[in-house]
Amino acid sequence: MGSRGRGRVELVGITAFLCAVLLSACSNRPVSPGLVPATELGTVRGQSFVRAITHFHTPYSFDACDGKGYNADGTINRGCWADARYAFCENHINYIFATDHVNYLAESSFSDLALLEAGDTLITSGGGAVGNQMVCPNGFSPRLAIGLEGKLLALGMENHVSADLADRASVYDGEDPARLRGTGVNDAKALVGVPHTESRDLITLTAIQPSFLEIYNLHANLDPKIRKKYLGRNPFDKIGVFINYLADPYSSLNPDYMFLDFIEFNDVYFERWDALVSASPTARVTGVGGLDSHENIFSQKAADGERLDHHRRMTRFINNLVLTSTDSIDGVKTAIEAGRVFFTVEGMGTPVGLDYHGVQTSVAGDTVFEMGEIMQVTAPATARLEFAVPVVHPAFPGMDSDERPEIRAELIQVSNSGTETVVARTSSSRLVYSNPGLGDYRVHVYQKPRHLRELLFNEDLADQEFLWIVSNHIKVTN
């Protein structure tokens, strides 16, 4: 740790404790700027990037808003919902797939779940409510889609599955995806996946046959019980990180970057993902990052005056960047199911220049295969995989410093037996891998966030390499 970091550690004493007690008097640090609009990330072969959150709890979840999201008089906690809307607007989140828990969701009118405020527009499908096109003070317009977290995640529900409350609750709390993803008149018509992959065994996942699953869950990374039971981590290993950001007598720390102190990718997520995608020549399961934001972990306020787990702070830390050619909830659901998703730890930087595709060359010319597709290669045709290594958007905090992030990429082959092998690496701007063998191929991008050095409590983290981006797969068959 540098001298500045050592000095900060020494501050956590009596003075720091007093400031933590009187934190409101010490909170004068401005919040970080919001994320740039996804329109600044460019286009790829007619497709545009959108930010999509695939796991988010509104006040209609019993454990959201410190357990006080739903008031006794049947109204919701508007202050907590205001935090969420502010986060979506500030960080230019295009699509928020709400994933509320069974009890309030099942008991509520479907249209109420859209959480309309003055000026919003109800999004309908087939004459029924499916979401909310919100209006922001900055002119941005995020879209909320109604959805569920029970044992499964159901993104973009179009209606309740039954008029009978008991039947409805049973479906929502069950592990059979048929009525959630079906196309019948009483089905939810949702995109169905698995939350908290760390808690599911492979037999269960195979039986569910999810369209997507979480390859990271921020809440799991924070929750002491989950860390111990499912991730094999010390449950309170990083608690000192949060104390440092609370006990900040000079309001000198930037709490938006505290998550770098504990972010960890656990092998269990990738092992189960690998097993599912390699199960057959046609198997495809999209990997997404689960934000799982509730505003129910750390209500204490940090130096910028916001609670540590404020939705604004969480929504700028991890995101799914989805490539879509259709600007609608259905279009984004289709793109997620197709595997056109880059999971990004955007708290390290917004990536610009992302592109991953395959090319098959035959006598008829070149054919491009997008991320998520199956590239069938038969002789005499040849094939290659191409990945454009992104850079950090120049407007991201720290990019005006003298230091720049150090970025490299790895191409990983998942064999038909589910074994991972790194087959190519690069620290340059492009990775090209010719004549790939059979298997599923994804890209991991790593970053040393040296541009963030002056924003971090522990400045040594700027020299530590973190997994920044995970692509989805291109499957190569013959």
pTM of the model: 0.93
Rounded CA separation 122/116 (Å): 7
- Least Cα distance to 51 among 356, 343, 368 occurs for 343
Cα-only R_g, the chain: 22
Computed over every residue of the chain, the mean pLDDT equals 90
Return the pLDDT at 303: 81
Pairing of strands 374-376, 365-370: unpaired
Q: Are 144 and 131 in contact (CB under 8 A)?
A: yes
Contacts of 366 (CB under 8 A, 6+ apart): 359, 360
pLDDT tens-digit map of 292-345 = 999 988 888 888 889 989 999 999 999 999 999 998 999 999 999 999 999 999
Of the pLDDT bands very low, low, confident and very high (cuts 50, 70, 90), residue 29 is low
- Least Cα distance to 340 among 36, 39, 48, 53 occurs for 48
Return the pLDDT at 28: 59
Q: Are 272 and 199 in contact (CB under 8 A)?
A: no
Q: Answer whether residue 236 shows pLDDT above 80.
A: no
pLDDT tens-digit map of 412-434 = 999 999 999 999 999 999 999 99
DSSP string, 19-58: HHHTHHHH--PPPPPPPPPGGGG-EETTEEEEEEEEEE--
How far, rounded to the nearest angstrom, does the alpha carbon of residue 393 sit from its chain's CA centroid?
19
Per DSSP, what are the bridge partners of residue 470?
343, 444
DSSP state of 353: S
Contacts of 57 (CB under 8 A, 6+ apart): 63, 64, 98, 99, 100, 101, 149, 292, 293, 294
The total of other beta-carbon atoms located within 10 Å of residue 271's CB is 14
Give me the percent of the chain exceeding a pLDDT of 90.
77
Return the pLDDT at 228: 81
Structure-token pair, residue 13 = 């004493």
Q: Are 77 and 83 in contact (CB under 8 A)?
A: no
**If you average pLDDT over residues 53-79, what whole number do you get?**
92
Return the pLDDT at 128: 84
Task: Tell me which residue has tokens 């922001």.
Answer: 136
Phi/psi of residue 212, nearest 5 degrees: -150, 165
pLDDT tens-digit map of 364-419 = 999 999 999 999 998 899 999 999 999 999 999 999 999 999 999 999 999 999 99
Q: Answer whether residue 24 shows pLDDT above 50.
A: no
Per DSSP, what are the bridge partners of residue 391?
352
Structure-token pair, residue 302 = 């940090």
Return the pLDDT at 381: 92
Q: Answer whether residue 11 shows pLDDT above 60.
A: no
Structure-token pair, residue 367 = 């054919």
Rounded CA separation 437/475 (Å): 10
Q: Are 84 and 311 in contact (CB under 8 A)?
A: yes
**If you average pLDDT over residues 26-53, what whole number do you get?**
89
Structure-token pair, residue 376 = 């069938």
Return the pLDDT at 22: 42
Rounded CA separation 2/453 (Å): 10
Q: Are 273 and 197 in contact (CB under 8 A)?
A: yes
pLDDT tens-digit map of 457-470 = 889 999 999 999 99
Q: Are 308 and 259 in contact (CB under 8 A)?
A: no
**If you average pLDDT over residues 274-286, what whole number do you get?**
96
The total of other beta-carbon atoms located within 10 Å of residue 177's CB is 24
Per DSSP, what are the bridge partners of residue 432?
386
Return the pLDDT at 304: 85
pLDDT tens-digit map of 95-106 = 999 999 998 999
DSSP state of 478: -
Return the pLDDT at 26: 46
Phi/psi of residue 417, nearest 5 degrees: -95, 0
